[in-house]
Amino acid sequence: MTIQNVDLHLLELRYAHIRVRNEGRIRRLADSISRHGQLEAMVTVMDGDGGLILIDGYQRQAALRYLGQDTGMVTATDEPENQALYQLLIHRGERQWEAIEEAGLIQELHRRFGCSLGEIGRRIGRDKSYVKRRMDLLESLPEEVLARVIAGVISTWAATRVLVPLARANSSDAVKLAAHLEHEPMSTRELQLFYDHYQKANRQIRDRMLNAPALFIKSSQALTDGKDQGPEQKWLHDAQVVCAILDRLRDRTDTVFYPNQEQKLRRQLLVRAAKARRLTVELQQKIKERLEYDRPRQGTGDPGDGQAGHNQTEDRQAAEGLTQHRGQGACSVGSETHGQ
């Protein structure tokens, strides 16, 4: 492969429709290029007529355009276009890919190049179900919603976690909510709250929610603000937060563990996973202990028949066991934290 400078207008942006545009990232990249120059070449392949198809480097191309430059540094690979797409899916190119973008490349390989889902999975180190989920993600979104995601107007989190399941149930409602998000963005917490209520509501209430999402969020927050929470409610809230985090970790596992991953990073990820698993086990044990402690004992017995002394011995043994368990838990947490 050779590196050369080419006119940017000669590049065919064949895959621009599946690359999410991030204006903030483009401006930061433009600032870096203005100070240090273009440090990494864009990746292209040649089409049948000798033209150059841009495979990787869409953010760099946009940054160069932002700076008003007419040329950019590219490298032209000799491999076929579909093979270049496979390599891009394996090595992920210039940055962390969004799920929508990965789904777009998979769709190109499946539809345009006739690759089966099983073949795509084998070539990129994924199973067939993973590839199918990516395809379903892309194909579930109405065109109007997908266009807003690609333009960077709506986050891929909003698309994958709310708009996709909403579109599967009611496509027109998904389009309506997406149009609102374009002008009045919601936080992820607000959007999840909105969708949770939407799922439980009847058609009349859903229509009111979609006509004024911001008003619904404001009203919901007003109902919950100022309410005193006892320790049980706070514990339930924290447990819900932990479950949400674990859900997110599970969903991102396929993204953060990948073939040829740098070993130091993989070890760090596995250490965190082991700690999360250990803390979950300790929490379950703690709950079990409390339930055992609160369970009423069978029989009362006469104070003079030795039963009371037996109960006292049981209580003392349980307390000693709990103290020992807490001490061991504290030591294990401390040692692991120190090791990190």
40 found inside a domain: yes
257 found inside a domain: no
Query: Do 91 and 3 share a domain, yes or no?
Result: yes
Query: Do 1 and 57 share a domain, yes or no?
Result: yes
The three-state secondary structure class of 53 is strand
110 found inside a domain: no
Query: Do 88 and 6 share a domain, yes or no?
Result: yes
Per-residue pLDDT of the chain (340 residues; tens, 9 = 90+): 678 899 999 999 999 988 888 888 899 999 999 999 999 999 999 887 888 999 999 999 999 999 999 999 999 888 899 999 998 888 865 566 788 889 999 999 999 999 999 999 999 999 999 999 888 888 888 988 998 988 888 888 898 889 999 999 999 999 999 999 988 889 888 999 999 999 999 999 999 999 999 888 888 876 665 455 667 777 887 888 888 888 888 888 877 887 777 888 888 889 998 998 999 999 998 888 888 766 655 544 444 444 444 444 444 444 444 344 444 443 333 333 333 4
Structural domain count, the chain = 3
pLDDT of residue 321: 46
Query: Do 266 and 337 share a domain, yes or no?
Result: yes
pLDDT of 226-267, one tens digit each?
Answer: 455 667 777 887 888 888 888 888 888 877 887 777 888 888
pLDDT of residue 286: 86
Domain range enclosing 16: 1-95
The CATH number of whichever domain residue 58 belongs to comes to: 3.90.1530.10
137 found inside a domain: no
Domain boundary among 223, 250, 275: 223
* pTM for this entry: 0.57
Q: What is the Cα–Cα distance from 157 to 147, expressed in whole angstroms?
A: 15
First to last CA, the chain: 41
Query: Do 185 and 267 share a domain, yes or no?
Result: no
Query: Do 267 and 207 share a domain, yes or no?
Result: no
Using a CB cutoff of 8 Å and minimum separation of 24, what contacts does 149-156 make?
149/20, 149/100, 150/17, 150/18, 150/19, 150/20, 150/21, 150/100, 151/21, 152/20, 152/21, 152/22, 152/23, 153/181, 153/182, 154/178, 154/181, 154/182, 155/188, 156/20, 156/98, 156/99, 156/100
197 found inside a domain: yes
Alpha helices by DSSP H, the chain: 23-36, 58-66, 81-91, 99-111, 117-124, 128-139, 143-150, 156-158, 164-169, 171-183, 188-200, 203-211, 213-224, 231-256, 263-294, 307-339
Phi, psi of 43 (to 5 degrees): -105, 130
Query: Do 90 and 9 share a domain, yes or no?
Result: yes
pLDDT of residue 2: 78
208 found inside a domain: yes
241 found inside a domain: no
pLDDT of residue 122: 94
pLDDT of residue 1: 64
Query: Do 83 and 147 share a domain, yes or no?
Result: no
Query: Do 9 and 88 share a domain, yes or no?
Result: yes
Q: Is 58 exposed, middle or buried (0-12, 13-18, 19+ CB in 10 A)?
A: buried
Biggest distance spanned by C-alpha atoms of the chain: 102
Query: Do 272 and 336 share a domain, yes or no?
Result: yes
Residue linked to tokens 């969903």: 251
122 found inside a domain: no
